[in-house]
Structure 1
Amino acid sequence: MSRDLQDRVYQELDSQILIDPHTHINPLRPASVSLADMLGYHYYTELVHSAGLSQAAIEDPKLSAKEKVECLVTGLSNIDNTIQFHWLLEAVRELFGIEVDRIDSGNWEFIYDTAEAKMAQPNWEDQVLGLSKLQSV
């Protein structure tokens, strides 16, 4: 496929408004409310668990959101060759405006704090829907 055709197809797809039929997403609150909420999605918990992180450690109900993220971050280096990890990096870039190519012990708290402030904004859900070009879930 030529580069011109790729660009035309991309532009056409990018111009579309989408409706997401995911039935496991709460349509009344489709946007994550914390970084722990994002990382708690099964893509990340199952991947880091399968890569060696204790399932009990990441599913302990006594963990605060920040503690859960800290725990999950310890397992991210073991899944950095997956598309899900790269989706996470892209989400951090696009949703929180942080240019990052890794999430590790040196930067996770900055990402967490930035995400917390961004997600606390009253129009957070509208921002997510606008950036993703989703009309509804």
Structure 2
Amino acid sequence: MIKIIRENKLLIFLTVLVTLGVLVFNVFHYSTSYGIVEINNVNSLLLVPFILLVCGLGMVLGTTKNTDEIENAYQNQLSEREQQVIELICLGKKNQDIANELFVDITTIKTHINRIYKKTGVKNRRELKFYGKRVLQKSGNQ
């Protein structure tokens, strides 16, 4: 639970901000003269648990799905070389450093990375590093 909180600091901050807006400023209060249903203070207070529930579920569901998909791909779809590339990326190495360490050309590393992106569904190196570290910790490789 603490990991989820650490990884979603921005979402938690925005949730607290919206909650404070509901409680203190009553930003969801509309005038009946405009024909919109009036949401009074009591109804606004009922929105707070709903907002917290939606944001909480979003944090939990948003982090577990990607990790599970990448873990499945890591164990079943990725070649041994692609797994090595992920491990080196998670250590913070750049493409040229990885190529030098594995004794291959840099274009080969770029090909491996593109295949990893397709197989795991991650969009960029930052995302791969984030989820890759979690998978490696789970599998005990790092």
* Global fold match (TM > 0.5): no
Larger Rg: 2
- Give TM-score scaled by structure 1 length: 0.27
Structure 1 or 2: more helix by fraction = 2
TM-score using structure 2 length: 0.27
